[in-house]
Structure formats: C-alpha cells, structure tokens
Amino acid sequence: MKFILSIFVGVFISLNILASNPVKITEFSNSEWVNIYSESGVEISYKVMKCAVGCNHTMQEYVVVKINNTNNQEIKLDFDISIKYENNGNVIAKSNHKIIELQHNQIIEGVCNNTQAQNKLKISKIYKKNDSGAILSEVSLNNITVE
C-alpha cells in the first residue's frame, strides 16, 4: 500500500511541477503559426491575425490560438489563461479558466468571426475598455491538463 501511495504522490508532484510552468507568449508580430505547447497528444500554436471589426470594418489585430488533438480519442483540455495589457507603466490583468473539448484528431483555431468555440481562442491586441489604449504585453497558459 505504501508503494502505491508513493507512486501516486510522485505522479501528483510531477504533474504539479509541469502545470506550474506557464506557457508564455510575449512576441506578437508572427503572422505564421508558432508552436508553444506539445504534450499528451495536444499541440497549441498561435499567430497574429487582422480582423475587420464593427460597422466600419476597422482592421484590428488579434492573437489567435490553434489547438490540435492528435490523439485517437476525445480529450478535454483544461487551462487558465492570463492576459496582460500595458499603457505607460499601468498594467491591466485579466484571467479566465477555459475548458475545451476536442474530438479525436480535431483541430480548432481562433478566427475573425464570433462562433462560440473559436471565440474562446481570440485575444485582442488592444484593450478597448475605458479607451485606455493599453497594448497586449503577455499571454500565459497555466495549469494545462489533458483528460
């Protein structure tokens, strides 16, 4: 029994160590997919995309994320996303918890239109609230788990 408990504690500590290391994005000029995570049959990439926004179709840049389930089974990807915007030394931080289910060998990616699943994968490069003019400085994916 002690042996099984030791294995369980070792695996739990290993998973927490892996989960505590966030995947950070700090470069926001890539127009081609950049791979930032590849474990447990899941690949996560990002790129910058221009999208027409509003009635005037003003072009705005977004960071979009692509998730590829290379497994032969359905998975549930669970993670926290932290987003930081900066303007003249002021930092605006936002955090969200995401759960995304993918079928076997399914790929989903952020796109300009606002379909529900893909909208979870689109991050504005400019923080518009209160006309702050803050610019995206960092995106972190934390506590990534695959079930």
**Is 118 part of a structural domain of the chain?**
yes
Q: What angle do CA 64, 50, 120 make, to 5 degrees?
A: 30
CB-facing half-sphere around the CA of 49: CA atoms within 13 A: 20
CATH of the domain at 75: 2.60.40
Residues 6+ apart with CB under 8 A from 104: 69, 71, 72, 73, 74
**Is 11 part of a structural domain of the chain?**
no
**Is 15 part of a structural domain of the chain?**
no
pLDDT score of 15: 39
Cβ-contact 131, 86 below 8 angstroms:
no
Give the pTM: 0.76
**Is 14 part of a structural domain of the chain?**
no
Nearest to 121 by CA among 73, 60, 79: 79
**Is 1 part of a structural domain of the chain?**
no
**Is 8 part of a structural domain of the chain?**
no
**Is 114 part of a structural domain of the chain?**
yes
Domains in the chain, number: 1
Question: Containing domain of residue 84, as a range?
Answer: 22-146
pLDDT tens by residue, 33-70: 999 999 999 999 998 988 887 778 778 888 888 999 99
pLDDT score of 45: 93
Residues 6+ apart with CB under 8 A from 10: none
118-134 average pLDDT score = 66
**Is 100 part of a structural domain of the chain?**
yes
